[in-house]
C-alpha cells in the first residue's frame, strides 16, 4: 500500500502506533516516616504514560455514564439541583449513551482500526480490505 500524498510505503496502522506509545509502570515502595508523623509507609504504585504520537492516535472514546451523589441539601447549588432533577426524570440520556456506545462508537472504532498514518508526510489514510 502506498501513501497517495507522497507515494511512500512507510505506512503504519494507527492502532499499532497507539499501542506502541503507551507505557505502564508498576512498583512498590517501602519506608519509614520520621518527624511529626510516626509510622511505616508501605504501598504500591501503578501508572501509565503515553508519548505524543500515541496520544494523537487514541481510539474513539466511550460516552460517559453519569452518576451523582448528594451529600447534604445545604451543599446543593441551584444548577446542581436542576441537573439532579433532570437526571432523575430524564433517563433518556442513559439510553442515548448506551445506543451511542453500541452503534456509533462501534463504527468509529472499526474505521479507526483501518486507519493508517504515513510516517513520511503525516497523511492519514483509511483503507478497508
Residue extents of the structural domains in the chain = 11-31+42-126
Bridge partners, 29 (sequence order): 43
Average pLDDT, the chain: 79
Q: Which sign does the torsion angle of CA 108, 114, 117, 123 carry?
A: negative
> Which pLDDT score is estimated for 107?
93
The list of the chain residues with pLDDT below 70 reads 29-43, 65-76, 89, 129
> Which pLDDT score is estimated for 72?
56
> Which pLDDT score is estimated for 54?
85
> Which pLDDT score is estimated for 65?
65
> Which pLDDT score is estimated for 66?
62
What is the tens place of the pLDDT at every residue in 82-93? 777 777 767 887
Amino acid at each position: 500500500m502506498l501513501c497517495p500524498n507522497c507515494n511512500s510505503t512507510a505506512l503504519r496502522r494507527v492502532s499499532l502506533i497507539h499501542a506502541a506509545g503507551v507505557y505502564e509502570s508498576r512498583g512498590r515502595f517501602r519506608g519509614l516516616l520520621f518527624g511529626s508523623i510516626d509510622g511505616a509507609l508501605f504501598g504500591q504504585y501503578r501508572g501509565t504514560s503515553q508519548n505524543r504520537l500515541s496520544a494523537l492516535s487514541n481510539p474513539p472514546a466511550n460516552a460517559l455514564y453519569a452518576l451523582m451523589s448528594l451529600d447534604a441539601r445545604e451543599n446543593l447549588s441551584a444548577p446542581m439541583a436542576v441537573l439532579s432533577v433532570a437526571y432523575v426524570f430524564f433517563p433518556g440520556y442513559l439510553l442515548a449513551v448506551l445506543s451511542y456506545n453500541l452503534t456509533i462508537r462501534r463504527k468509529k472504532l472499526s474505521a479507526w482500526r483501518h486507519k493508517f498514518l504515513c510516517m513520511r508526510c503525516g497523511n492519514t489514510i483509511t483503507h478497508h480490505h
